[in-house]
Structure 1
Amino acid sequence: MEEETLLQFLDLAEKLKCHTRHSWTSSGRQESVAEHVYRLLVFAWLVREEFPDYDMNRVMELALFHDMGEALTGDIPAFEKDKEDEKKEEQAQEKIAGMLPEPYRERLADIFREVEKKETKESRLLAALDKLEALIQHNEADLSTWLPLEYDLQLTYGQEQTKSIPYMKKLRKRVYEDSVKKMEEA
């Protein structure tokens, strides 16, 4: 890859360190998009043995780039995202993939499409992992960082994405129980 293209793309990826998410860390600061992506990759790596029939390298590749559009758009919390925001993210992804020469351009465009369409078992697993990572992060954060609507979200978010994957459904139940316990202790 040409040096200028490589450096420009890395500069764009650096923006994921700068954009904060709605979630807070256990130390009391907002997490960056890059931190979420990193932990999502760790999560996928840790559960890889639970999914012997999945291409877990593909799951991790999807995870690596699933929020790349946020380098241009910033994070938009799921409970605020609308069709216009989704369109902006899609346009950002097209622009980002367009920065790269072939074969990287088409490979990244394929990743973006697979994440969006959720037609493969790997992309559906990624969606489940992504939702659970956010829920786990909320459980680790101080309750004072939660918005009022997040009390219900902690109990319902990610149910749809995890229900057809037995291991993830079981883990979602555990995260639910942790959320309830956190709320009761407050």
Structure 2
Amino acid sequence: MEIEKYLQIINVFENLKNNTRHCYTSSGRKESVAEHSHRLAIMAYFVKDEFPDVDIQKVILMCLFHDLGEAFTGDIPCFEKTESHEKTEAKNVKCFLESLPDFYRKELIPLFTEMETLETSEAKLYKALDNMEAVIQHNESDISTWLPLEYELQLTHGEKAVAFSSFTRRLKEECNKITLKKINDQ
């Protein structure tokens, strides 16, 4: 790959460092999209013993790339995202992926299709962990940063995504306990 093309690709991902999410870190600053994706990949790595039949390297790749669309649109919280937003994001991702050199395009286009269809164990695991990372981050942030709708959302977000495995269901249950304690202690 030409160095210019390489830098052009890498520069797109700098946007994920600049674009913030609506959630705050425990230190009181807004979390970046890149930080969310990074911890999500770490979360995937540390569940490989729970999922011996799952290709964890593929899950990690999904975690690293899943919010690529937000490099173009910025973060739109799940409770504000519309079908129009999703179409715009998908169009930008498709355009970007099609601009990649063959070697990368042939790997990443099927990966994104797999993430969208959520039919494989790898895609289901990435999606469950993605939802849970957001819940965990909210539990770590000061409750004063929560929007009123997030009190209930914290308890329901990810329920469908975690249903596929006992480990992810237990993770959600434990996170809900932490959420309820946080709410009750305020």
TM-score norm. by structure 1 comes to 0.98
Q: Does 1:72 align with 2:72?
A: yes
**Structure 2: gaps spanning 5 or more residues:** none
**C-alpha displacement at 1:99, in angstroms?**
2.4
Calculate percent identity across the aligned residue pairs.
Answer: 48
Contact residue 69 and residue 89 of structure 1 kept, 8 A: yes
Q: What secondary structure, in the 3-state scheme, does the structure 2 residue paired with 1:50 have?
A: coil
**C-alpha displacement at 1:98, in angstroms?**
2.1
Aligned residue in 2 for 1:102: 102
**C-alpha displacement at 1:107, in angstroms?**
1.5
Distance in 2, Cα, partners of 1:26 & 1:12: 27
Aligned residue in 2 for 1:26: 26
Q: Does 1:44 align with 2:44?
A: yes
Aligned residue in 2 for 1:139: 139
Aligned residue in 1 for 2:128: 128
Distance in 1, Cα, partners of 2:78 & 2:168: 20
Contact residue 93 and residue 109 of structure 1 kept, 8 A: no
**C-alpha displacement at 1:5, in angstroms?**
0.9
* Per-residue CA distance 1:72-131 (angstroms, 9 max, x = gap): 011110011111011011101112102211021122111211111111110011000000
Distance in 2, Cα, partners of 1:54 & 1:171: 18
Distance in 1, Cα, partners of 2:100 & 2:3: 12
Aligned residue in 2 for 1:183: 183
Q: Would you identify which runs of 4 or more consecutive aligned residues in structure 1 move more than 2 Å?
A: none
Contact residue 69 and residue 96 of structure 1 kept, 8 A: no
Amino acid in structure 2 at the alignment position of 1:59: V
Aligned residue in 2 for 1:159: 159
Q: What secondary structure, in the 3-state scheme, does the structure 1 residue paired with 2:28 have?
A: coil
**Structure 1: gaps spanning 5 or more residues:** none
Q: What secondary structure, in the 3-state scheme, does the structure 2 residue paired with 1:103 have?
A: helix
Aligned residue in 2 for 1:59: 59
RMSD: 0.7
Amino acid in structure 2 at the alignment position of 1:13: F
